[in-house]
Structure 1
Amino acid sequence: MLIPVEDGPAIVACNTCRHSADAREDDAGMRGGAQLVAALRSVQQSDARYAGVAVQEMPCLFACTDFCTIHLRAPGKVGYVLGRFTPDEDAATAILDYAVHYAASEHGRVPFKQWPQGVKGHFITRTPPQGFVAE
């Protein structure tokens, strides 16, 4: 049931997420989560700045009402679940830009002034790292 992955900064994207609040799939029958994974990988490959953040995928993050959902995580850092993205390269770029700042941060807190516009309003939850709670 669990698949081992590298234990570093990562964006875990739900590959089965709805396309939008109103539609499960796009006109071609593709789920939004699968589209977002493809966009994340495409953008990541286009810029070396993103090499330090893994793009991983799994089915269902159980945030179905918040379609196109990702979990940003790293060892010893506060994690975040974000959603309600349009599954395209603009969203993927904003997510990866935020993830670069997140990976460089000490505990997972990125100053608001460094947040790309494309992630503002998309945060769903904050999760403490194992063995810690946030202050």
Structure 2
Amino acid sequence: MLTRVDPGPAVVVCNTCRHSREAQVDAAGLRGGARLVAALHVVRAADPRYAGIAVQEMACLFACADHCTVHLRAPDKVGYVLGRFQGDAESARAILDYAVHYAASEHGRVPFSLWPEGVKGHFITRTPPPGFVAE
């Protein structure tokens, strides 16, 4: 049921997420999560700034009311679930830009002034790392 992955900074993408709140798949029959995974891989490969951020995928993050969801995590940092993205390069770039700041932060808190416009309004939850609670 569990697969070991690199424990470093990662964007974990729900590869089964709906295309939108209204539709499970897009006009081509693809789920939004599958499109977002593909876009994240393409954008990550094209820019060396993203080399320290893994793109990992799994089926269902259980955030079904908020399509195209990702979980941002790193050791000893607060984690975040974000959603309501498009499965496109613009969303992928915003997620990865935020992830770079997140990975560089001490505890997972990124100053709002550094948030890419494309992630504002997309946060769903924050989760403390094992053994901690957040202030």
Q: TM-score, normalised by structure 1?
A: 1.00
Partner of 1:121: 121
Cα distance in 2 for residues equivalent to 1:65 and 1:47: 31
Cα distance in 2 for residues equivalent to 1:100 and 1:28: 32
Q: What is the Cα deviation at residue 15 of structure 1? A: 0.1
In the TM superposition, what are the counterparts of 1:1-135 in structure 2 within 5 Å?
A: 1-135=1-135
- Secondary structure of 1:66's counterpart equals coil
- Show CA shifts across 1:74-122 (max 9, x none): 0000000000001100000000000000000000000000000000000
Q: What is the Cα deviation at residue 29 of structure 1? A: 0.7
- Show CA shifts across 1:23-82 (max 9, x none): 000111100000000000000000000000000000000000100000000000000000
**Displaced runs of 4 or more, over 2 A:** none
Question: Could you tell me which amino acid in structure 2 is paired with residue 77 of structure 1?
Answer: K
Cα distance in 2 for residues equivalent to 1:126 and 1:5: 21
Question: Could you tell me which amino acid in structure 1 is paired with residue 66 of structure 2?
Answer: D
Cα distance in 2 for residues equivalent to 1:94 and 1:27: 24
Question: Could you tell me which amino acid in structure 1 is paired with residue 35 of structure 2?
Answer: Q
Quote the sequence identity (%): 74
Q: TM-score, normalised by structure 2?
A: 1.00
Cα distance in 2 for residues equivalent to 1:33 and 1:133: 30
Please provide the CA RMSD for this pair: 0.3
Question: Could you tell me which amino acid in structure 2 is paired with residue 100 of structure 1?
Answer: V
Cα distance in 1 for residues equivalent to 2:52 and 2:24: 32
- Secondary structure of 2:99's counterpart equals helix
